[in-house]
Structures are given as structure tokens and as C-alpha cells.
Amino acid sequence: MSNELVPTSQGALATQREMLVVTSDSIPGYRIVRVCGLARGNTVRARNFGRDFLAGMKSIVGGEVGTYTKMLAQSREQALDRLQSEALQLGGNAIVAMRITTSTVMQGAAEILAYGTAVVIEPEGSGE
């Protein structure tokens, strides 16, 4: 995750680390002062033969397939990092209505897409 300071439309500086990302349409204690637009981040990952072989062996005995769990967690984080980066480029300091979806691109490869609305927020009661 980037820690680069980026100016928002209100002149405040925001970083990906301090960006609020929520699945709701609003953020309690804050008001949305500007909608910057749709932001998205994605990644496409392909399976690996060695990983598939080990996963197949694991499916015989049952249990969690740790290599796939780790790969999917890394993919989600990468998609979220890219989402936040795009929101910063749009001038936002927060993301509302964030969603994550997956789709099969081809056999053995999947896309993870994170998307939401980039917004500029202020604490309630400020700027009045």
C-alpha cells in the first residue's frame, strides 16, 4: 500500500493508509462534500500446476487449501490497493459503497475486481 501524500480537492492531504473504505453509502460522523466518481482496482491471477497438484492432494484428505487461501488474500489486497490509488487520483479521500466481485477470465484464471465511489469527506460540524 502506498503512503504517498496526494492533495484532495479541499486542499487536505490524504494517503491510502488513512483512506476510509466502507461498504455502506455513508460514513457515520462524516459528511460527503463531493462525489469524485467510480473508482476500481483489479487483478487477474492464474492457477499454478504445482499448487493445483497440492490442492488436489489436499482435497482427498479434506481441509483448507492454504496456498489458494493465501493467493486469494494477496489478490484481494492488491485489488483494494489499486482501488484506493485510483480514488486518490480522482481527488477522493474516502470510498463508499465498496464491493468486491470475481469472475472467470479463462479456464484457470480469475479476475478480482474491487470498486466503489470515490468521495471527499469532512467530519460533521467542520467547515460550517
How far apart, in Å, are the Cα atoms of 81 and each of 6, 30, 39, 40, 43? 15, 23, 11, 10, 10
Q: Which three cell numbers stand for residue 93?
A: 479521500
Helix, strand, coil fractions of the chain, as percent rounded to 5? 30, 40, 30
Q: Give the model's pLDDT for residue 18.
A: 79
Q: Give the model's pLDDT for residue 96.
A: 98
Contacts of 11 (CB under 8 A, 6+ apart): none
Q: State the burial class of residue 92 (Cβ atoms within 10 Å of its Cβ: 0-12, 13-18, 19+).
A: buried
* Structural domains of the chain in order of their starting residue, each with its CATH number: 6-123 (3.30.110.70)
Q: What is the pLDDT of residues 6-17, one digit of tens each?
A: 444 444 445 666
Q: What is the pLDDT of residues 80-97, one digit of tens each?
A: 999 999 999 999 999 999
Q: Give the model's pLDDT for residue 10.
A: 46
Q: Give the model's pLDDT for residue 6.
A: 45
Residue spans of the chain under pLDDT 50 = 1-13
Q: Give the model's pLDDT for residue 48.
A: 62
Extended beta strands in the chain, E state: 6-7, 13-14, 20-21, 30-46, 94-106, 109-123
Written as one letter, the residue type at 92 is G
